[in-house]
Chains A and B, each alone.
Chain A
Amino acid sequence: MTYSISNIARSKGDPKVLHSGPSSLGAADRLARALGWYSIGLGLAELFAAKRITRALGMEGKEALVRAYGVRELGHGIVSLSPDKHLGLWSRVAGDGLDIATLMTAMRHDNPKRDNVGIALAAVLGVTLLDIIGAQGVTARHSRPHGRPRSYRDRTGFPQGVQAARGAARDFKVPPDMRAVPTLAAVSDRAPQEKAQEKARPH
């Protein structure tokens, strides 16, 4: 599998995977990934086979619209596959609404391809359901729950307290290659700046 391919780039003695355990990806993440790739596939089809799609749906003349939807679909896909996948999936839900509205305009009695439009509508409705499940799933899985954060008020890191720590490492000699701007110290010592800084005392 992929390991055996990537193992070619690996040194001989490096540990190799024997069997795989639980993953950081949850079910919602996997659904998001599948829907993201679906978006990419659909987007490419809309972009490059717009004529066939409009013909099948009796929507001749709407090729430019279908191509624009293809670009939109690619956008949904890219965001759904990124770490910000909740945004991608919610944008897909909005896009589904747009697709349904557009297909409804083709559900006219005089459209000879009315049956195809019906099938397409059913498919979009099904995918919309998955999108909503996925969007809710990743939002729930990755959001910070509301409520009070834990308190770290006592986490000073200084066993002898903050006051004792201030300047406690002044014995440290900054190595010559890391000395920065020796003139700045002299400049900082001048009175006008001290006055200015006094005005802006920290709380």
Chain B
Amino acid sequence: MRALVWHGKEDIRCDTVTDPEIEQPRDAIVKVTSCAICGSDLHLFHNFIPAMLPGDIMGHEMMGEVVEVGPEARHKLKVGDRVVVPFTIICGQCDQCKRGNFSVCEATNRKKYLADKVFGHPTAGLFGYTHLTGGYPGGQAEYLRVPFADATHIKVPDGIPDEKVLFLGDIFPTGWQAAVQCDIQPTDTVAIWGCGPVGQMAIRSAVLLGAKQVVAIDHLPERLEMAEAGGAITINFDEESVVERLNELTGGLGPEKCIDAIGMEAHVSPSMPDTVYDRAKQMVGAESDRPHVLREMIYVCRPAGVISIPGVYGGLVDKIPMGQLMNKGLTIRTGQTHVNRWTDDLLRRIEEGQIDPSFVITHSVSLEEGPEMYKVFRDKQDSCIKVVLKP
């Protein structure tokens, strides 16, 4: 089959690879009908996340049709079922899964020995990601083996286009969880850094959950325009001071809730000297992530507020103002998304017409064009915000 394969820094190729097979009784094989490139794939593209190996198949946002089911998954899945595959692999039976903390499932990371060393304890297995999270082959491919398939799936009805439900596997629940863990009150200002795909979903989620005002921060005009379309007040950080404008919008109090939809690769600009410092340290390996957004959020957030971090961080950050964080009594909530905790409710909201996540798609291409689209998406060329691939 064909698949997008990681060969090294900025080197992703559309290769011919062997087909996946059922390995465990709980496995299923899915024929992928749609998959997407995610912002976090770009961290892998830049080799900023440790423990990728040449030959790894990319992709963790995918859906398709079940074509083969292992004997122990047959009570939940059958050939022909239409499923979205969540990016977190879950067993559905461990303590964490029972609590709904699916992204830290204790049973699905098959490289536990690696994760134990680096994270202290393992987190869930993830598709198309580093070997720290199991090194499972991803879904930017024609076929995908889904381990623990009896739990790791979201069934979707026929008759609703792929584009409307594909993002149930990652970015929609990710933006939703980012907003939910802010515990939004009708009096709240929710400030969202980053108007990429997750930021766009977080904006819509905060609007649906009834925030008083949603403020979106970016500097790319097309992304700000999409944010505004979704009901956000926008701040272009190339043109105005984020801190000043947020204070102005909140009567000098600061936003109660702040969401970091940027993560480890904050934009670098001489007008934000800390980003240049971080970039230099990152280049020589003295720091793995550029936490400009964290610093700004901690500074501007209203005391006793919440900082929600769906943005991906990889390792070590520097100059985090713990003094401000502690004295202001801020709450930090973060984590990979507990996808299946939210998807039944979100699928219903899509079906009822409350939201249509397909608004974010700007490019739809074949799998062969995938490698070039990584470049286009990374360089933000052609007003690219979200790429869907059709294997």
Spell out A's residues near B (CB within 8 Å).
Answer: 2-3, 6-7, 9-26, 29, 78-79, 81-84, 141-145, 149-160, 162, 165-170, 172, 174-175, 177-181, 183-185, 187-189, 193-200, 202-203
Contact = CB atoms under 8 A, between A and B. Distances in A.
Given A154-B229, A184-B256, A178 B359 contact: no
Contacts of A78: 283-284
Contact of A180 (B16, B131, B182): B182
B13 A22 contact: yes
Contacts of A16: 17-18, 55
Interface in B1-52: 1-3, 5, 7, 9-21, 23, 45-46
B186 interface: yes
Contact of B230 (A13, A79, A162): A162
Interface string B193-233: 00000001000110111100100000011110110111101
B183 A15 contact: no
Nearest to A82: B283
Nearest to A21: B14
Interface residues of B, number: 100
B353 interface: yes
B3 A178 contact: no
A21 B12 CA distance: 9
A92 to B, nearest CB: 15
A120 to B, nearest CB: 29
B251 A200 contact: yes
B249 interface: yes
Contact of B210 (A3, A13, A81, A166): A166
B204 A84 contact: no
B355 interface: yes
A13 to B, nearest CB: 4
B306 A180 contact: yes
A180 B331 contact: yes
B12 A175 contact: no
Contact of A156 (B7, B18, B221, B230): B230
B253 A196 contact: yes
Interface stretch (B61-69, B292-300, B372-380): B372-380
